[in-house]
Chain A
Amino acid sequence: MVQSFTTGGAEGRDARATALRCIAIVPAYNEEASVARVIEDIGAADSSFDIVVVDDGSTDRTGAVAETAGANVVHLPYNLGIGGAVQTGLQYARDHDFDVAVQVDGDAQHDPLEIPKILAPILEGKADVVVGSRFLGEGEYEPPVTRLLGIRLLARIVSVLVRQRVTDTTSGFRASNRRAISLFASDYPHDYPEVEAMVLLFRHRLKLVEVPVHMRLRGAGESSITFWGSAYYMLKVLLALFVGLFRRYPTPLEDHQ
Chain B
Amino acid sequence: MTPFRVSIVAAIAALLLLFAIFELIRSRRLQERYAMLWLLTGIVILILGLWRSLLSTIADAVGIAYPPSALFVLAAVFILLLLLHYSTVISTLADQNRILAQRLALLESRLEEERSAG
Partner of A191, one of B32, B39, B99, B103: B32
Of A77, A191, A235, A246, which is within 8 A of B26 by CB?
Answer: A246
Q: Are B31 and A190 in contact, with the CB atoms below 8 A?
A: yes
Tell me whether A15 is interfacial, beta carbon within 8 Å.
no
As a 0/1 sequence over residues 240 to 253 of chain A, the CB contacts with chain B under 8 angstroms (1 = contact) are 10010011000000
The answer to whether A239 has its CB under 8 Å from any CB of chain B is yes
Interface residues of A in 202-233 (CB under 8 A from B): 232
Q: Which residue on chain B has the smallest CB distance to residue A191? A: B33
| Contact pattern, B 1-24, Cβ under 8 Å of A = 1, otherwise 0 | 000000000000000000000100
Q: A243-B22, A246-B26, A247-B26 are in contact. Are A236 and B32 (CB under 8 A)?
A: yes
A236 in contact with B22 (CB, 8 Å)? no
Q: Which residues of A56-88 are within 8 A (CB) of B?
A: 77-78
**Closest chain B residue to A238 by CB distance?**
B32
Complex: A190 Cα to B36 Cα, angstroms: 16
What mask results when residues 184 to 209 of chain A are scored 1 for a CB within 8 Å of chain B, else 0? Answer: 00000011000000000000000000
A190→B39 CA distance, assembly (Å):
20
- Report the Cα distance A203→B107, complex, angstroms: 39
A191 partner residues in chain B, CB cutoff 8 A = 31-33
A198 vs B46: C-alpha distance when bound (angstroms):
33
Per a CB cutoff under 8 Å, which of B26, B36, B103 touches A236?
B36
Q: Which residue of B lies closest to A57 (CB)?
A: B99
B96 within 8 A of A: yes
Complex-state Cα separation, A239 to B33, whole angstroms: 10
Bound together, the chains give a CA A243 to CA B26 distance in angstroms of: 6
Complex: A243 Cα to B95 Cα, angstroms: 30
Q: Which residues of A contact B77 (CB under 8 A)?
A: none
| Residue contact B33 to A236, C-beta cutoff 8 Å | yes
Taking the nearest CB of chain B, how far is it from the CB of A6, in angstroms? 24
Which residues from chain B contact A235 at a C-beta distance below 8 Å? 36
- The answer to whether A243 touches B36, judged by C-beta atoms less than 8 angstroms apart, is no
Find the B residue at minimum CB distance from A239. B32
Contact status A243-B99, CB under 8 Å: no
Q: Give CA–CA (A247, B27) in the complex, Å.
A: 7
List the 4 shortest-distance A-B pairs measured between CB atoms, nearest first. A243-B25, A77-B103, A77-B99, A240-B32
* Known contacts A239-B32, A239-B35, A239-B39, then 11 further A-B pairs from the complex at CB < 8 Å, ordered by chain A residue: A77-B99, A77-B100, A78-B95, A78-B96, A78-B99, A235-B36, A236-B32, A236-B33, A240-B32, A243-B32, A247-B26
9 A-B residue pairs with CB within 8 Å: A77-B96, A78-B95, A78-B96, A190-B31, A236-B32, A239-B36, A240-B32, A243-B22, A247-B26
Chain A interfacial positions (CB closer than 8 Å to B): 77-78, 190-191, 232, 235-236, 239-240, 243, 246-247
